[in-house]
Amino acid sequence: MARSLIRRFAVLVASAAASYSLWWFAPSQPWFREFDRAVFSGVVQACANPPLIVSGEGTYAKPWTLRTLTTVSTKRTNDSPAPVVVAIGDDPEGVFQSSPPSPVDFAVMLKNLRRLGAKRVALGTVMAWSESDPIARSALEGQLSGFEVAVTATPLTRGATPEPMPGAFLRASLPINRVKGETALLPVVNRLPVPGTILGEGRVIAGFSELESEPAKGLPLLARWGDRVVFAFPVMAALAERDLTVDDVTIRLGESLQLGTDGPIVPLDSFGRLAVSLAKTSPVSPVAAESLIDAAELPAAPLVVLRDDRGAADAATKRFSAALVPSLAAIDSEAGLSPKRPFARMQWQGEVMFLAGIVLLQVMLAGGGSFRRHLTLLLLTGLVVATQYIGTCWAHGWLPGVAALGSVLAGWLVSWPPRERPLEPSPAGEPGE
């Protein structure tokens, strides 16, 4: 009787301590949130078709939310105006020095944009000259550095001889260990294919316009350069628009790319490409680059995007320019994602009662031998799992199932019945007895 009471007390203490620790303390740890997120993703597959886009933190204030792929929408997720597009055309009146524009021409464009109040600019055109005046290049670099945020673009490729990563890409990259998923599937790059490219110094960041060494399939958003990950130009432009940095990006290959904790979520396949087709967007009315010289004002917008619209541009440039606005719209509008479906947690009192019930059941069933002990483990585990699935798929809530299972495991580990000590043989009788 005493042994049974001791065992029940041990089960009570162990299971209560485990459930309380996993319910109250563990959720503040990143490793536990990742584990709980993986559990949620596994459970919710019973009531939703993958691919599943999961966000949130699983807390009372920020519960887990679920999104799935659906029809494409081009409605922006924020209330700010869409970026202003400045089109660099063929310049039939000869306003600029040359076509394509020279470094001096670009410096003039940027100077006028600053005069008109632009603070963040994204140059969706490759600025590369094999031979140019060093003073003109220096003037262009100086104008780029004068913005709060400036994003430049260039193609990337993979060659037999790798090159050091330019500073603009290094500032806009993340360590490979920040990416969740199989990073070996990402396209690999290691150099710039266009010599003489100006990407900018200081605070200027860069994104790639295309990956020349990869087949033209889908819209790549990520690439691997050594032990770091670099981003496509539309991603960097979207970050600049929201005044975010690459440190605010969360990447889950095969699922999503999220810009900030409350920013847009972009469906991502396992190869780092946009997982949905680009939506058809309404035609934009760009501002002609040559009109900036005499312009008195610009439409109010958090970002100005320069686009190469020259008729004499090469095919790759035309393809990139045509996809630029739809790409930004796909990111801004969370195109192809259903509305968020939250899976809220119960009030803390209800969760305490749920966990207390699991603990009390373990204490009540703690007696008996090994068979009863194993049967108790199976029954309570099945009960917790079934309750979790029902609460998730039917009630659209999230129970503290991990804490409950931890409680069951802890109670099972301390409920081993004590071994019976073998009886010692009686001493042999004295001779002659």
The amino acid at 368: G
Residues 6+ apart with CB under 8 A from 343: 40, 44, 63, 64, 65, 66, 392, 396, 397, 398
Confidence check: pLDDT of 433 > 50: no
pLDDT for res 431 = 52
As given in the structure block, the two tokens for residue 105 are 């021409």
Tens digit of pLDDT for each residue in 27-44? 889 899 999 999 999 999
Confidence check: pLDDT of 339 > 90: no
Vertex 152, ends 151 and 156: CA angle to 5°? Answer: 130
Confidence tier at 235 by pLDDT (50, 70, 90):
very high
Tens digit of pLDDT for each residue in 394-423? 999 999 999 999 999 998 888 876 555 555
Tens digit of pLDDT for each residue in 343-355? 999 999 999 999 9
DSSP letters of 312-341? TS-HHHHHHHHHHHHHHHHHHTTTTBPPPE
For residue 51, whether the previous peptide bond is cis, meaning omega lies within 30 degrees of 0, is yes
State the chain's mean pLDDT as an integer. 88
As given in the structure block, the two tokens for residue 15 are 């299971």
Q: What is the distance between the alpha carbons of residues 114 and 197, in angstroms, rounded to a whole number?
A: 23
pLDDT for res 337 = 81
344 bridge partner residues: 397
pLDDT for res 369 = 73
CA distances from 328 to 85, 260, 321 (A): 11, 16, 11
Percent residues over pLDDT 90 in the chain: 58
Cα torsion 206, 210, 211, 213: sign: negative
Confidence tier at 432 by pLDDT (50, 70, 90):
very low
Q: For 5-14, 156-165, 240-249, which range has the lowest pLDDT when averaged over its residues?
A: 5-14
CB 172 within 8 A of CB 246: yes
Residues 6+ apart with CB under 8 A from 31: none
Tens digit of pLDDT for each residue in 261-308? 888 889 999 999 998 877 677 767 899 999 999 899 998 889 999 999
pLDDT for res 188 = 95
pLDDT for res 171 = 95
What predicted TM-score, i.e. pTM, was given to this entire model? 0.81
Region 53-60: mean pLDDT is 90
Q: Output phi, psi for 133, to 5 deg.
A: -65, 125
Mark residue 275 as left, alpha or beta (left: phi above 0; alpha: psi -120 to 50; beta: remaining): alpha
CA 366, distance to chain mean position in Å, is 45
Confidence tier at 430 by pLDDT (50, 70, 90):
low
Tens digit of pLDDT for each residue in 85-99? 999 998 888 888 888
Percent residues over pLDDT 70 in the chain: 92
Confidence check: pLDDT of 329 > 70: yes
Confidence check: pLDDT of 131 > 80: no
Confidence tier at 223 by pLDDT (50, 70, 90):
very high
